[in-house]
Amino acid sequence: MPVPLPLDAHLHTDLSPDADVPLDVYAALAREQGVAELAITDHIDFVAGDPAYHYADYDRRVRVVREAAERWAGEPVIRLGLEVSYGHDVEGEIREYLATHAYDYVIGSVHLGRQGPFRDPRTAAAWCAGKSHREATAFYWDEVEWAIRSGLFDTLGHLDFVKRYTQRHLGPFEYEAHADIYDRLLRGLVDSGTALEVNASGLRQEPGEPYPAPAVVARFRELGGERVVAGSDAHRVEQFAFGLAEAYRSIGRAGFRELSFRRGRDRVAVELSTELVETLLGAGVGANTGRGVTGA
C-alpha cells in the first residue's frame, strides 16, 4: 500500500496543453492513496507561440479548482496553484500578471522552449556535440538563477531539469563535478527565501532520480536552506504520486522535518511526522516509489 503523504505540490490537469487528466480523477486517487492535499499547478507561458500561452484563462482556472475543492470537501484539500514558465525577457509580464491574479501557490520553472537547442532529439544532439556539460547547459543555469533572484515565486521547480535532455548525449550530470553550479543556485534560494522543489518526475525519465538528486537536497540543508517542498509533476493518470515517496525520502534524509507551502496569503509549515520520516527512511516506502514509467 502507498504511504499516506501530506502534500503533492505539483500536478497538471487538462487545463495544461500537455496533460489530459480531469481534476476529479486526481482527487479520487488522492483519497484512495492517502495524499491529503493537492496543488493544481497548470502551466502558463508568456512567450507567444509557446503551448500554454493563453491556453486557459484565469477565470476558468479559478472556477474549475474552487468548484472541485467544494465537491471534495477537504478530502483531499485542493489548492489553486500555477506553474510559470520563466524567461528573463518576459519577467516584466510575469510580474504584472502575478500582481493582478491571486493564486494560493506559484512555482517558477525554466522550461526549454520551442526555439531552444533541446526542442527535439536531433537539435539536442547537434547542440551537445563537442561540448562539455557546462558548455551545453550554461544558458540554462543563468536562466534558473534569474528566476530565483526575481523573488516572484514561492518555489523553484525542478532545479536541474535540463539533465533530462543532456543525459542521452553527454551522460549523467554528476553532482560532484558541478557542485559549484549547484551552490550558486542553492545560495540564491537561501538568500531569496524561495523554496526548493524536489520533483519526482525525473524518476520516470532518463535521469532516474529526482530533480534535484538527494545530494543536492542535502547540500541545500547544509547551506542553510529551510524551505523545501515535494511534487510528482504528474501529467497523466498513471503518474499520480509516482516517485513522490522517494522525493519525501530525500527530504527526510537531508534532515528536513517540514515542507514550506503557501496557502493563499499565508506560508505554512506542513509537518513531516516522526512516524512518516521513520517509515520513509526504513526498508520499504510503498508503491508510490516506483520507477520505469515514461512520459512527460
pLDDT tens for 76-101 read 999 999 999 999 999 999 999 999 99
1: in domain:
no
Of 109-123, 137-151, 245-259, least confident by mean pLDDT is 109-123
In a domain, 3, yes or no: no
Q: How confident is the model at residue 116 (pLDDT cuts 50, 70, 90)?
A: confident
What pLDDT, on a 0 to 100 scale, did the predictor assign at position 135?
97
Asked if residue 150 has pLDDT above 60, the reply is yes
pLDDT in the model for residue 202: 97
The 3-state DSSP class for residue 199 equals: strand
Q: Determine if the pTM surpasses 0.85.
A: yes
> Considering the domain boundaries, does residue 176 fall inside one?
yes
Q: Average of pLDDT values for 30-35?
A: 98
Q: What is the CATH number of the domain that holds 155?
A: 3.20.20.140
Average pLDDT along the chain:
94
154-168 average pLDDT score:
96
Cβ 191 vs Cβ 160: under 8 Å: no
Find the domain containing 243 and state its range.
8-289
Which pLDDT value is given to residue 289?
A: 45
| Number of domains the chain contains | 1
Identify the residue whose cell numbers are 549523467: 172
Distance (Å, whole) CA 42 – CA 15: 6
Cα separation, 202 vs 90, in Å, equals: 27
- 294 located within any domain: no
Mean pLDDT of 47-55: 92
The radius of gyration of the chain's CA atoms, rounded to the nearest angstrom, is 18
User: What's the pLDDT band for 288 if we cut at 50, 70, 90?
Assistant: low
Instruction: Tell me whether residue 295 is in a domain.
Output: no
pLDDT grade for 119, boundaries at 50, 70 and 90: confident
What is the model's pLDDT at position 286? 47
Task: Note whether residue 296 is domain-resident.
Answer: no
Q: Give the residue-averaged pLDDT of 246-260.
A: 97
Assign residue 138 a region (left: φ > 0; alpha: ψ between -120 and 50; beta: otherwise).
Answer: alpha
The confidence score (pLDDT) of residue 290 equals 45
Query: What is the crossing angle of helices 163-170 and 121-128, to 10°?
Result: 60
Residue 118 lies in a domain: yes
Give per-residue pLDDT as tens, 200-211. Answer: 999 999 999 999
* Within a domain: 126: yes
